[in-house]
């Protein structure tokens, strides 16, 4: 069995440098939270922009509540700051649609609360032992809270996309793709590889443990499916042809009159979309985004292909046949940079297909990390030997056929909250998330060598 690489910067840091790394990660997350909430006025902060989402002010205070529970109270052993609001910000007690009716902290109070919590959390970070307890080993708890905040930042970014009104978020355009033409598909040879991780210090419970998986040869799209390719499916009548849709997908499409990706609309001169308050033509060379699992599955069938399994996706993203081991990322073990992937809300859209050649896998598969979350055909479940840690509600309560796994992150995912082993999941109907896909297929006779 190949070994998971341990060339991870966290494993090589001194305790002092590890604390500095954790502090920097927490600070970057908070700067993003502040930017997303300061971009709108207090009226917009407390408004529910969609019943699919919480008011932005709920997300902000929830971030603080989780940080208080885990870093201040648990790791630090400090007295509770606001035990009276624990229930208000328990995501399992109150569905998103009901949260505006709760006696939530107002904008000023929420900002003051998260500021006070962060000050206490930094006090804890300076003194807490970073060994001898699994929760604090390699600063795991601080990494967990960083990832939690960044995940809610992406959720808040999705809320901004649903918000009506003038644009309030701005970012530079992503890089253009090089002029060279990429092959449409890549053959991934069959064989065993190591899926998941045991050594990644900040990996979450559903990424563990590492285990060996045998994946037969398959063919994978070189890049995510583009808007231009998806328009062909639309224009051919794919949304109205029952043959390409699963039974639940067709029922959902009909019931909700879904005729295109979310935020798209047809005009006499072509397809247009609304993106963070900006109305623009649908860009032909960008990966399609805001499609559900059902739409992705229908497109794949129309194209004579299928969605990849989760194991296929991870093998394409991590396995290096030259060394026989699994990498942390498609390009290697080093952390993502702006040259590797479109991450961290650096841009407010996916980049063109092929725009990050430095982030390609050894086989030449592009944009497996960043740009759009990619639907897989796999139901969300635990790996063999899975153990919930540090609480069941992060992963285990979601296991089952109701949820499909997404991989790779989006332009709204921070580098701290993504890696080759990271697993996201959602209902197959979800379209407000930054979701796209790529297709796979079985090799034709003689194609696999």
- 381 labelled binding-site residue: no
Residues 45/106, Cβ–Cβ less than 8 Å? no
- Distance, CA of 370 to CA of 350 (rounded, Å): 8
74 assigned binding-site residue:
no
62 is in an annotated binding site: yes
Phi, psi of 403, deg, nearest 5: -120, 140
pLDDT in tens, 12-43: 888 899 999 999 999 999 999 999 999 999 99
Residue 346 and residue 348: Cα distance in Å, rounded? 7
pLDDT in tens, 391-404: 999 999 999 999 99
Backbone angles phi, psi at 377, to 5 degrees: -85, 5
Is 160 within any annotated ligand binding site? no
Q: Does domain 174-449 have CATH number 3.90.1580.10?
A: yes
- Find the mean pLDDT for residues 38-59: 97
Q: Is 205 annotated as a binding residue?
A: no
For residues 151 and 29, is the Cβ–Cβ distance under 8 A? no
Predicted confidence (pLDDT) at residue 4 exceeds the cutoff of 80: no
pTM over 0.85: yes
Q: How confident is the model at residue 5, as a pLDDT? A: 47
431 is an annotated ligand-binding site residue: no
The strand pairing partners of 186, in sequence order, are: 220
- The answer, yes or no, to whether residue 443 has pLDDT greater than 60, is yes
Mean pLDDT to the nearest integer, 269-283: 98
Q: How confident is the model at residue 446 (pLDDT cuts 50, 70, 90)?
A: confident
pLDDT at residue 161, rounded to an integer: 98
Strand 435-436 relative to strand 373-380, pairing = parallel
User: Can you name the CATH fold of 9-162?
Assistant: 1.20.120
Through-space distance between the first and last CA atoms of the chain, rounded to whole angstroms:
24
- pLDDT above 90 as % of the chain: 94
pLDDT of residue 12: 83
Chain-centre distance for alpha carbon 393: 18
Omega into 209 within 30° of 0, i.e. cis?
yes
Residue carrying the six token digits 């992503």? 174
Domain map of the chain by residue range? Answer: 9-162, 174-449
pLDDT number for residue 310 = 98
């Amino acid at each position: 069995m190949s070994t998971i690489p341990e060339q991870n910067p966290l494993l090589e840091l001194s305790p002092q440098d590890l604390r500095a790394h954790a502090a920097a990660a927490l600070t970057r997350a908070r700067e993003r939270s502040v930017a997303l909430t300061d971009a709108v006025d207090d009226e917009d902060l407390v408004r529910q922009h969609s019943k699919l989402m919480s008011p932005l002010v709920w997300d902000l205070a929830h971030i603080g509540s989780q940080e208080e529970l885990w870093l201040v109270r648990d790791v630090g052993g400090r007295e509770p700051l606001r035990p009276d609001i624990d229930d208000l910000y328990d995501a399992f007690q109150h569905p998103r649609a009901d949260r505006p009716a709760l006696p939530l902290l107002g904008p000023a109070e929420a900002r003051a609360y998260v500021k006070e919590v962060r000050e206490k959390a930094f006090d804890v970070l300076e003194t807490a032992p970073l060994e001898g307890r699994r929760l604090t080993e390699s600063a795991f708890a601080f990494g967990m809270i960083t990832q939690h905040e960044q995940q809610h930042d992406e959720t808040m970014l999705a809320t901004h996309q649903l918000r009506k009104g003038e644009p309030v978020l701005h970012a530079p355009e992503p890089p253009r793709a090089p002029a060279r033409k990429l092959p449409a598909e890549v053959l991934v040879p069959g064989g065993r590889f190591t899926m998941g991780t045991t050594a990644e210090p900040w990996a979450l419970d559903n990424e563990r443990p590492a285990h060996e998986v045998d994946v037969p040869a398959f063919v994978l799209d070189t890049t995510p499916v583009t808007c231009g390719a998806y328009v062909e499916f639309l224009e051919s009548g794919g949304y109205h042809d029952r043959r390409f849709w699963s039974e639940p997908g067709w029922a959902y499409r009909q019931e909700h009159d879904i005729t295109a990706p979310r935020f798209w609309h047809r005009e006499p001169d072509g397809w247009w979309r609304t993106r963070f308050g900006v109305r623009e033509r649908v860009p032909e060379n960008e990966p399609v985004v805001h499609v559900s699992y059902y739409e992705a599955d229908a497109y794949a069938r129309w194209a004579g292909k299928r969605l990849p399994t989760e194991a296929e996706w991870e093998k394409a993203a991590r396995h290096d046949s030259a060394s026989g081991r699994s990498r942390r990322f498609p390009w290697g073990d080093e952390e993502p940079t702006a040259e590797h992937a479109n991450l961290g809300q650096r841009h407010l859209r996916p980049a063109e297909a092929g725009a990050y050649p430095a982030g390609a896998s050894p086989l030449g598969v592009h944009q497996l990390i960043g740009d759009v979350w990619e639907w897989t055909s796999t139901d969300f479940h635990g790996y063999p030997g899975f153990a919930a840690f540090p609480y069941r509600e992060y992963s285990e309560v979601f296991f089952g056929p109701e949820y499909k796994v997404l991989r790779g992150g989006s332009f709204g995912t921070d580098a701290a909250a993504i890696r080759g082993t990271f697993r996201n999941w959602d209902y197959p109907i979800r379209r407000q998330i930054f979701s796209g896909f790529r297709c796979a297929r079985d090799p034709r006779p003689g194609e696999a060598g």
